[in-house]
Chains A and B, each alone.
Chain A
């Protein structure tokens, strides 16, 4: 029978793996990441799913475990991801982890060729024979097969060295079955960031999480509150980070975490291909992730100078590496914002920003004096002067309401949010004009979603206009893979 160990409890981040520009392991950045999380965690996992283990050579994986052990230096347990499709590779990696001094091995169910259960059983039996603590790992989203409770129970009871299971399925009925069958006999960890608090409250011993790279302190607070029986506090934190972790879980976790760490000021590469920026982790997810990290106070402030020619304004903003130190060229700045779901309520904003005495201000003046009323233009704000331009013909009272009340409300909130966060400093509001082209789908129905999506798209469009995003590098990197949704026939 397996056993329960003292070290397998608490919060373990599934560390991302930084790579250098020439695509080797970035040892320095990896060590810095470990130092970033270490004060808040009970253990670390190198070479997990979030660590892109399946994109690394066996040599790289071994090396990464060694670096991790060296940097951690015994302060917390190191649970090395050693899973591979074949038993042969899994044994080699697990042996290495054992001999290098890791605390245990996290072993994903063998994937891709979909071995039957008795083959999976023998796979773990072979690992058990190494005499090294094994944590079973269920992640059907990637592995394609979902452990059944009797699988987990069978292996937990039959094998001497199984000390735990990590369940990333998010399937709480499955987790409850694990509690029923093996609680107290082995450690049970949750691996799905969206249900951490629920799983801990229900009896999980800890959590291995992608988002614990970003917010290890918050997960530690959730864990401590749960241990102390303070469910209200634990719930409050979970709800506060719910959107952040949903983005991480559902949108290419590895790239999402890496982008988030960069926003927070760490040195971090993109994921290895075929994961890429603007892919599963979409551009709108980037903006949303940024807003969430900003709301949690995770993005450090920096002073940026806006050079309007006539005046120079300094403003402190939560800046990312993309935010320039000096923003000049206020004649005409262009920004685009895009937010969903759902399809029919999605917001798409084309925004122009510039000085009132430049092309933007002049265009507003002329259009209002000319075709403004006939074409449904509306000034929705004076500071900054903001012109709403509908891009779809309004045919019904409902469309009118959705556009002039709800979309306009969303855009107004977005402008206010950028004023409050310093991106639109008070000192420039009298000199600034915005033209906002707004799309509301003719079949849209959910009013609040129109508000929210236009709010998000509005924040993005304004920031992208100020920061000149996407950058030329982003355009060059993604131009080949770009996939315009309307480019294809139904």
Chain B
């Protein structure tokens, strides 16, 4: 058996398909710009893959994309996604791809009606019989809802035109099994961005990745390092892009990749309906997280704004609550302050406490009628349903500019403050009577770029215990 000569040792981005914002029409110029953006770092491109929203594309569009890619990539590879539920459609797509100049086709496991193993095998046999072009099998159970069975892969590897399999499952036990049974005849390509280094270490040849259009140079470097056996350095790079890779794989797929590219100035428009650019599979919080990760990678400029932790006499810091130093003294309100953590994790908490029938009770109620100014007060909880006592408002001192930043307040800050209060109550630092008779308001200053939720939780907890101890005279 002779296989076609085709080097798949490389990095191949599974390109998104750019669509225009209003009409959702294929944006050919944007596609060309996207290809030019990745070309310096890649060994070829993949059109109409899963990331490219292939089930939403017409046959004509898919062919056109192959033509464009062919024009743009020169002697690098064009791999055309030719996935379809039925065999006849897959054959038609494959014939188009061959005519339009593709070097290989990528054919996903037939989906939706869940054919038997025999049916799956026949699907690929029929395609290779009708169209003479190197074929890459494609296992992606996350969307097909079934694995390409290893025993089928093992037999398909005997077909002359079957040159490789892309495995997007991320399930390395499966990958290793396919390598064991078919690795002597076909190449394996890793298609899951979160496990590239382990897969390369296990013996895969190259990679087809969604994230290879966002940070292709990193993957190219990973491949070189692994070739040279410099595993520790490759690992470090994988670690650097782990969170973004996870977001692309698990929290939005092609939609998340499009969001990232648009942020980077590589305009690729919107996904096709029913997918939404944001607010569907990709939620607003995750989009904000993508932005921060791209900043960390230097893909977009970080917005740095000066800010300060409050200083001056503690009693002077509650002007926003309309509580003057004189009020605080006159009503015997409790004050405490604490700070902890270093750098991005530094937190300062300024706490005021007092009886519900003091002016603090009024300040408390008033805060909950004053929303949407960027520094809204939150009721302090351990988790939803576990509101702490004494009732405590958490008030950020810096404007919350996006949901990612707000999440640092809702999540780690709120729950750490809650835990500190309940611990202090159980320890007797806060007397039990105060649980029902008093309220607390805590002004929290959290670094606008804080991102390490675990470290932030620790800082807030320490700062809160210190502030409480001071306020309750422990």
Q: A341 to B373, alpha carbons, bound, how many Å?
A: 28
25 residue pairs A–B, Cβ–Cβ below 8 Å: A278-B386, A284-B384, A284-B385, A329-B436, A332-B356, A335-B387, A354-B365, A359-B356, A359-B357, A367-B369, A371-B370, A387-B369, A391-B376, A435-B365, A437-B368, A472-B435, A475-B388, A475-B389, A478-B382, A479-B423, A482-B418, A486-B410, A486-B412, A487-B453, A490-B246
Q: Across chains A and B, which 4 residue pairs bring their CB atoms closest together, nearest first?
A: A283-B385, A486-B411, A443-B279, A363-B365
Q: How far is the CB of A398 from chain B (nearest CB, A)?
A: 11
Known contacts A329-B356, A490-B286: A482-B415 contact under CB 8 Å: yes
Report the interface size class on chain B.
35 or more
B474 in the interface, Cβ–Cβ < 8 Å? no
B235 in the interface, Cβ–Cβ < 8 Å? no
Q: How far is the CB of A167 from chain B (nearest CB, A)?
A: 26
A331 engages B370 (CB within 8 Å): no
Which residue from B366, B389, B435 sits with its C-beta under 8 Å from A366? B366
Q: How far is the CB of A145 from chain B (nearest CB, A)?
A: 21
Against A, the Cβ 8 Å flags (1 = close, 0 = not) of B183-219 are 0000000000000000000000000000000000000
Which residue from A335, A363, A489 sits with its C-beta under 8 Å from B362? A363
Which residue from A329, A359, A443, A475 sits with its C-beta under 8 Å from B382? A475
B422 in the interface, Cβ–Cβ < 8 Å? yes
B365 engages A360 (CB within 8 Å): yes
Known: A359-B357, A363-B362. 9 other contacts (CB 8 A): A278-B385, A348-B384, A363-B368, A376-B372, A377-B369, A391-B372, A443-B279, A484-B381, A487-B415
A359 engages B365 (CB within 8 Å): yes
Q: What is the size, in residues, of chain A's interface with B at 8 Å between Cβ atoms?
A: 56
Interfacial residues, chain B to chain A (CB-CB below 8 A): 243, 246-247, 251, 276, 279-280, 283-286, 289, 356-357, 361-362, 364-366, 368-373, 376, 378-379, 381-389, 391, 407, 410-412, 414-415, 418-419, 422-423, 425-426, 432, 435-437, 439, 453, 457
A442 engages B243 (CB within 8 Å): no
A393 in the interface, Cβ–Cβ < 8 Å? yes
Q: How far is the CB of B109 from chain A (nearest CB, A)?
A: 26
A39 in the interface, Cβ–Cβ < 8 Å? no
A359 engages B364 (CB within 8 Å): yes
Q: How far is the CB of B467 from chain A (nearest CB, A)?
A: 18
Q: How far is the CB of A178 from chain B (nearest CB, A)?
A: 26
Known contacts A482-B386, A487-B457: A363-B419 contact under CB 8 Å: no
Which residue from A329, A338, A358, A371 sits with its C-beta under 8 Å from B385? A338
Residues in chain B near residue A362, CB distance under 8 A = 362, 365-366
Q: A348 to B426, alpha carbons, bound, how many Å?
A: 27
A352 in the interface, Cβ–Cβ < 8 Å? yes
A470 engages B370 (CB within 8 Å): no
Known contacts A331-B357, A358-B357, A371-B370: A489-B386 contact under CB 8 Å: no
Residues in chain B near residue A437, CB distance under 8 A = 368, 371
A192 in the interface, Cβ–Cβ < 8 Å? no
Q: A484 to B435, alpha carbons, bound, how many Å?
A: 22
Q: How far is the CB of B399 from chain A (nearest CB, A)?
A: 13
Residues in chain A near residue B369, CB distance under 8 A = 363-364, 366-367, 372, 377, 387, 389, 435
Residues in chain A near residue B368, CB distance under 8 A = 350, 352, 363, 389, 435, 437
Residues in chain A near residue B381, CB distance under 8 A = 336, 484
Q: A486 to B410, alpha carbons, bound, how many Å?
A: 7
Q: How far is the CB of A29 from chain B (nearest CB, A)?
A: 27
Residues in chain A near residue B383, CB distance under 8 A = 278, 482-485
Q: A390 to B368, alpha carbons, bound, how many Å?
A: 10
B371 engages A478 (CB within 8 Å): no
Q: A376 to B425, alpha carbons, bound, how many Å?
A: 37
Q: A363 to B379, alpha carbons, bound, how many Å?
A: 17
A490 engages B365 (CB within 8 Å): no
A468 in the interface, Cβ–Cβ < 8 Å? yes
Known contacts A284-B385, A472-B432: A352-B365 contact under CB 8 Å: yes
